[in-house]
A = this chain, B = another copy of it.
Amino acid sequence: MDINKILSQIRFDDKGLVPVVVQSVETKEVIMLAYMNAEAFSKTLTSGKMHYYSRSRQKLWLKGEESGNIQEVKEMYIDCDNDAFLFIVEQKSGACHTGYYSCFYQKLNDNKEGFIITGKKVFTPEEVYKK
C-alpha cells in the first residue's frame, strides 16, 4: 500500500473533506453519504473498516464503534474529478442511526407532496445505543 501516492491524487475540499457514497455489496442499495478527511481515509484503507469525519462532532469516527454495526470495505472507487469516493461495503445490521438498513429510507411520493417511509427497519436504536 502506498497511502501517500493515493492521497496525492485526491482533491480534498476547502475543509479537507471528500464526500463518500456508501453502497451495500449485498443489496446494491445506497445506504449513506458521509465525509472523510485524510486521516479517516487512511484508517479506512489500513483497517478495512469504514472511518469517517463527523462534521457535527468534528472528530474521526469509526462507523459502528458504539452500535457494533461496522462496515467492511469490499471495493473502493474514485470519481473522474478525484473529489468523491464510492465504497462498496458489507454492512452489519443497518447503516442508519434510526434503525433503518439505509439512511435513504424516505421516498418522495408519487404526487410529489412529501416523503413516505419505504426503508426496512433492521434494529431498535434504544437497544443498540447506550443512553
Contacts and interface: CB of A to CB of B under 8 A. Distances in A.
A88 to B, nearest CB: 9
Given A5-B113, A23-B30, A114-B2, A80 B108 contact: no
A80 B107 contact: no
A38 interface: no
Contacts of A113: 1-2, 5-6
A28 interface: yes
A23 B23 CA distance: 10
Copies, count: 2
Interface residues of A, number: 39
Contact of A106 (B1, B19, B78, B96): B78
Interface of A: 1-3, 5-6, 9, 19, 21, 23, 28, 30, 32-33, 45, 75-81, 84, 86, 96-98, 100, 103-108, 111-115, 118
Given A5-B113, A6-B108, 14 more contacts: A1-B112, A6-B114, A6-B115, A9-B114, A9-B115, A19-B33, A21-B30, A75-B107, A77-B106, A78-B106, A79-B103, A80-B103, A84-B103, A84-B104
